[in-house]
Amino acid sequence: MPGALPPLSRFAWLSIAAALATIALKLAAWRLTGSVGLLSDALESGVNLAAAVITLLLLGVASRPADESHAFGYSKAEYFASGAEGALIIVAAAGIAWTAVDRLLAPRPLEAAPLGLAVSVVASAVNLAVARVLLSAGRRRRSVALEADAHHLMTDVWTSAGVIVGVAAVWATGFTVLDPLIALAVAVNIVWTGVRILRRSAYGLLDRALDADDQRAIGEVLDRHGRPPVQFHAIRTRQAGSRRFVSFHVLVPGEWTVRRGHELLERIEADVREALPNANVMTHLEAIEDPASFEDVELDRPGGPAR
């Protein structure tokens, strides 16, 4: 279809290709220099590869259409992808810290530092370019999995920058303990990134409300339609991967015909979807004069005898 957006899986394949390239480059830099900092950088790229593969698989699941057993679709699979990535980041940090402590207890001089650093700079440039592409696509398509992958790659870029500075300092000063100390700092930075990604994934699985900008957009639509005698309540929102869900009740005079009320709801839903692309909008029409219309404002409606 002309003008159609490329599938998200293309970006996951790009991430996989970048991870393979940077692993090869960083391992080459480590073999040239013997730097544990560069080795830790290469190990993190290995985590990037595993995370990119997981992201690819779960983006495929998330893109499945809704069916009888999953009436709201599979979009929450993206949170599992970002959560798995966060967990892998923390595991990689533990491995890096272990290697760094061993090298801290038994320091070794570095070899061929200039050449190794040059190779590492090329690897960082690859990660930076791919991270920017993934971050742009993730924000544009509201994909938490792609955004997590992009932030991971950006962390890799900053990590590599720190390692490069550390290796250069060791080469210039001969103070070999700087190499494992930088690697430990890298591990701490990676843990923080992993925790942030895990926290965001958990919030998504807990059906957190849409962000302030989206809430504001919904409010503006309702303000346009909410002139007396029309009112709204029970406004609820949630994010599920790249999809957004919005529901609310519309209160109108009981004397209105079904057709008139339905036409109003159709206009409101269309305006909300225009303001929030890829949003699922559900409305419920109620008579404003009926006290029962105000009994279901909360998520759980109070019990009582059937009417």
CATH number among 3.40.50.720, 1.20.1510.10, 3.40.50.1950, 1.10.340.30, domain 8-205: 1.20.1510.10
Q: What is the pLDDT of residues 32-67, one digit of tens each?
A: 777 666 676 677 677 778 878 888 888 888 888 888
- Cα gap 131→41, rounded to integer Å: 16
212-294: CATH superfamily: Cation efflux protein, cytoplasmic domain (3.30.70.1350)
Nearest to 240 by CA among 66, 7, 90: 66
Tally Cβ neighbours within 10 Å of residue 270.
12
pLDDT-derived band of residue 283, with 50, 70 and 90 as boundaries? very high
- Give kind and range of the element (H or E) at residue 268: helix 258-275
Q: What is the pLDDT of residues 130-173, one digit of tens each?
A: 988 988 888 887 787 788 788 778 777 777 777 777 777 777 77
Strand positions, DSSP E, the chain = 231-240, 243-252, 279-287
Would you kindly state where each structural domain of the chain is located, as residue ranges?
Answer: 8-205, 212-294
pLDDT at 104 > cutoff 90: no
- The model carries a pTM of 0.65
% the chain with pLDDT above 90: 20
Q: Quote the pLDDT of residue 30.
A: 78
